[in-house]
Amino acid sequence: MLTLAIETSCDETAAAVVDGLSAVRGAMIATSRDAFAQSGGVIPEDAARRQLESILPVVHGALKQAGITKDDLDAVAVTRGPGLLGSLLVGTTCARTLAWLWGKPLIGVHHILGHLTSPWLGADTPPQFPLLTLTVSGGHTELWLRESHTRGQLLGRSRDDAAGEAFDKGAALLGLPYPGGPSIAKAAESGDAAAIHFPLPLQKDDTLDFSFSGLKTALRYALRDAPETDTNDLAASYQEAICRHLTDRAAKAMARCPQAHELHLVGGVAANTRLRAMLSEHCQGITVRAPALKFCTDNAAMIGAAANAMLEELGEKAFAEFSTEAALPLSAAMSS
C-alpha cells in the first residue's frame, strides 16, 4: 500500500510517501518555525500563507525522493484536524484536488492517530497490542490503552495546559525562544535540575489525568522571589518537574494495565531526551518505545502510516467523506 500523505496542521508543510506502516520511501518538510522564534508562537494567517507557497514543491519533492510517479500511488492521505484552520485547509484542499485529478482514493486522518502510529515508522519489530501510549505534544497530553490502531480507551488527559504548552509558556517566562521545548532542553543541559523544587501535580487524586498550570505558576513565583537564580538551573528544574509528572502517570497506568505489552511515547515532547531516559528508567518490565526524533514532531510519514493502518482495520470505510475541522474531537481518533 503506497500512500502519499500531507500534513499541515500547524506551521509545518510536510509530505511523505509511505509503504505500509513502517517504510518511508520519501519525506519532505518545510517549516516556517524560525520566522516565529521571536513572536512567542505561530501567527496562523502568516503560517497558512507560507504553506500555500510550499505545498506543491514539498509534494513533488516527496514523490521525487521516493523515485515514483503519481501512477504508482494507491491512495492520498491528509490530516483533517485538529489544528489551525487555515493551515489544515491548505493541506486538505491540495490533497482533495490531487486525489480527484489523479483518480486516487482519499483518506482523512486525525492528527492524533498520526502521532499514535508514529512508533511503527522504521520499526524492525512491529509493536504488539494491547499497549499504552502517552501522547505529549503542543496541544495534547493523553494516556491511551489501545487494543488496535483504531480501537482504544482514553485513560487520562490534561485538565489544563498540554505538556508542550508547559514547555512553550515556561520558555516565554524564562525569555527563551519559541518553540520552548528545544530551548528549555538546551538550557537545561548546563543547569542543575535539583536547584529548585517543584511540587508533583495531582498527587492526592486517584486519577491518570495531568495538570501543568501549577508548575507554570510555580516557575513564575520562582522568578519573582529569586530573580538572581540562574536561567539554566530554572530550565533544568522545570524540565525535571514536567518529566517527573509525565513519568509518574505512565508508571501508574502501567500498574493499572498489566495486560499492556508496550509503553509508547509520541508527539513533539517525545523528542525530549530527559523524558525518554526517565521513562525507560522508571518503567522497567515493559517495552518502552518512542519514534525516531524526526517522527516525534509533526511530520507527514505518521499520517501516511495511520492512513494505511485505517485501511487495514476499517477497509473501504477509511475512504469515507470527511470535513476539515480545527477542533476535531479526540473521540474521532479512536472508537472504544
Cα torsion angle, 31, 32, 38, 40, sign: negative
Counting contacts by CB under 6 A, is residue 240 touching ligand KG4? no
Q: Indicate the residue among 135 and 150 with the shorter CB distance to ligand KG4.
A: 135
Counting contacts by CB under 6 A, is residue 247 touching ligand KG4? no
Least distance between ligand KG4 and beta carbon 85 (Å): 15
Would you call 333 helix, strand, or coil by DSSP? coil
Would you call 136 helix, strand, or coil by DSSP? strand
**Each residue of 8-18: b (16+ CB within 10 Å) or e?**
bbbbbbbbbbb
Least distance between Zn ion and beta carbon 64 (Å): 25
Counting contacts by CB under 5 A, is residue 308 touching Zn ion? no
Cβ–Cβ under 8 Å, residues 164 and 181? yes
Counting contacts by CB under 6 A, is residue 182 touching ligand KG4? yes
Q: Indicate the residue among 33 and 49 with the shorter CB distance to ligand KG4.
A: 33
Q: Using alpha carbons, select from 95, 137, 65, 67 the residue that is nearest to residue 304.
A: 95
State how far the Cα of 120 lies from the Cα of 125, in Å rounded to an integer. Answer: 9
CA dihedral 7, 8, 13, 18 (to 10 degrees): 0
Counting contacts by CB under 6 A, is residue 114 touching ligand KG4? no
Is the peptide bond prior to 179 cis by the omega test (within 30 degrees of 0)? yes
231-256 vs 180-189: helix axis angle to the nearest 10?
Answer: 110
User: In the set 36, 120, 167, 198, which binds ligand KG4 (CB under 6 A)?
Assistant: 167
H or E, element range at 232: helix 231-256
Q: Indicate the residue among 180 and 214 with the shorter CB distance to ligand KG4.
A: 180
Counting contacts by CB under 6 A, is residue 291 touching ligand KG4? no
Which partner from the list Zn ion, ligand KG4, none does 272 bind, CB cut-off 5 to 8 Å by kind? ligand KG4
Which partner from the list ligand KG4, Zn ion, none does 269 bind, CB cut-off 5 to 8 Å by kind? ligand KG4
Least distance between ligand KG4 and beta carbon 3 (Å): 20
Counting contacts by CB under 6 A, is residue 36 touching ligand KG4? no
How many residues form the binding site for ligand KG4 (CB under 6 A)? 19
Which partner from the list Zn ion, ligand KG4, none does 114 bind, CB cut-off 5 to 8 Å by kind? none
CA dihedral 208, 108, 26, 91 (to 10 degrees): -100
Counting contacts by CB under 5 A, is residue 137 touching Zn ion? yes
Binding mask 267-306 for Zn ion (x = CB under 5 A): -------------------------------x--------
User: In the set 272, 295, 305, 334, which binds ligand KG4 (CB under 6 A)?
Assistant: 272
Cα torsion angle, 22, 48, 324, 145, sign: positive
Supply 170's cell numbers.
515556561
Counting contacts by CB under 6 A, is residue 267 touching ligand KG4? yes
Least distance between Zn ion and beta carbon 101 (Å): 28
Counting contacts by CB under 5 A, is residue 8 touching Zn ion? no
State how far the Cα of 173 lies from the Cα of 169, in Å rounded to an integer. Answer: 6
State how far the Cα of 232 lies from the Cα of 195, in Å rounded to an integer. Answer: 10
Counting contacts by CB under 6 A, is residue 181 touching ligand KG4? yes
Counting contacts by CB under 6 A, is residue 81 touching ligand KG4? no
Note the residues at the interface with Zn ion (CB under 5 A): 137, 298
Note the residues at the interface with ligand KG4 (CB under 6 A): 10, 137-139, 164, 167-168, 179-182, 185, 267-269, 271-272, 297-298
